[in-house]
Amino acid sequence: MSAIKAAVSSGSQKTGELAKLIQIPYPVASDDQLIIKAVAYAANPTDWKHIVLGWGPAGSVVGSDVSGIVEKIGKNVKGFEVGDYVSTTLHGNHLQERGAFADYVIVDPDTSLKFDKASFDEAQLAPGTYPPSPIKNFEGAAAINLSLATVALSFADSLKIPDDKKENADTFILIWGGATSTGIVAIQIAKLVYGLKVITTASAKNHEFLKSLGADVVLDYRNPDIVESIIKVAGGKIAYALDSVSSKETYQQMYDSTKGSKKVAFDNLLFLTEKDIKLDPERKSDTFGGTLVYLATGETQVLGDLVIEATPELIRSYKHFWYDLLPPHLAQLKTPALRVLPNGLQSTNEALELLRENKVSGEKVVFRA
């Protein structure tokens, strides 16, 4: 096979024209990677942002989340076999030879999950919406990895949460944006893996769903008294805070909501720092970090003028989570609700526009190859 079909960034920012379909060479993986035949794709906000903000050149293969069937295995890869059902995340949208939205995709084992074929439903989902559920099909599998790897790096490395449930039993984590795809996963991991108490924010329509995932307290971020409400319910016991929305406004609100708590670790997903918010000068023991999911593979990442390297400590923390802490709980994790688009890479632009126009809440946009 000399050429495959892929969705690549078009160079245009016009509605419905962010991506176009072209033929690219069949991928060449290293000895440390896999190649999978794609079965289903999931769209993420980072996909359209890379295109619109110029984080990758025109012609870059779009997409960060994909599930499929193992086609080839590098000689150094262990734990996978040809024919395995897997899902993975990767840094798409910035390379012309690699991204998730293609017929065949290069896969890094350290950001991939393998599923039991016997409990997997191969039947494709018809276009429409589906409620949250455990990972049981290719659409659901495609919907989880980017969020899961993000939470892994945030909790294990940036926030440095101890994995002792007894130690965490009376401690709160504040997750701003609980109905985002990252927030949905973060709530579950906070409860299942770390045993934390969870306070989160979301619109009222998502409150019961987030409580069903384990959130102890869900508050409406539209409430003008949201900050005071969180301070009251937390009682000074917030130790960790993750902003999955990651605007300057939400980061400030999250910081203000931890008033009265001592030594809080803060994290966000869009390179915000303490310089982006107004700090209380009396709070000197708080820490501030940022999470970039693509560091999970150990590769140096270049985003515009930013050059970010993965430290040995980051890799150790991430792998401890991915290989030691996560596996016992993977079967319990629920995906977001799925919004399934018509089959084929021609659904790429529709998926990107739904996210760019902020028409997705509590859902993951997916489609089959």
pLDDT in tens, 130-171: 999 999 999 999 999 999 999 999 999 999 999 999 999 999
What is residue 231's predicted lDDT score, i.e. its pLDDT?
Answer: 97
pLDDT in tens, 87-117: 999 999 988 889 999 999 999 999 999 999 9
How far is the CA of 140 from the CAs of 120, 338, 341, 346, in angstroms? 10, 7, 13, 20
When pLDDT is cut at 50, 70 and 90, the band that residue 304 belongs to is low
Nearest in space to 129 (alpha carbons), one of 110, 111, 143: 143
What is residue 1's predicted lDDT score, i.e. its pLDDT?
Answer: 67
pLDDT in tens, 168-217: 999 999 999 999 999 999 999 999 999 999 999 999 999 999 999 999 99
For residue 307, pLDDT beyond 90: no
Instruction: Spell out the domains of the chain, with CATH numbers in brackets.
Output: 3-144+335-368 (3.90.180.10), 149-299 (3.40.50.720)
Residue 313 sits at the vertex; the CA angle it makes with 280 and 254, to the nearest 5 degrees, is 25
How far is the CA of 160 from the CAs of 14, 224, 289, 311, 317, in angstroms? 41, 31, 10, 14, 8
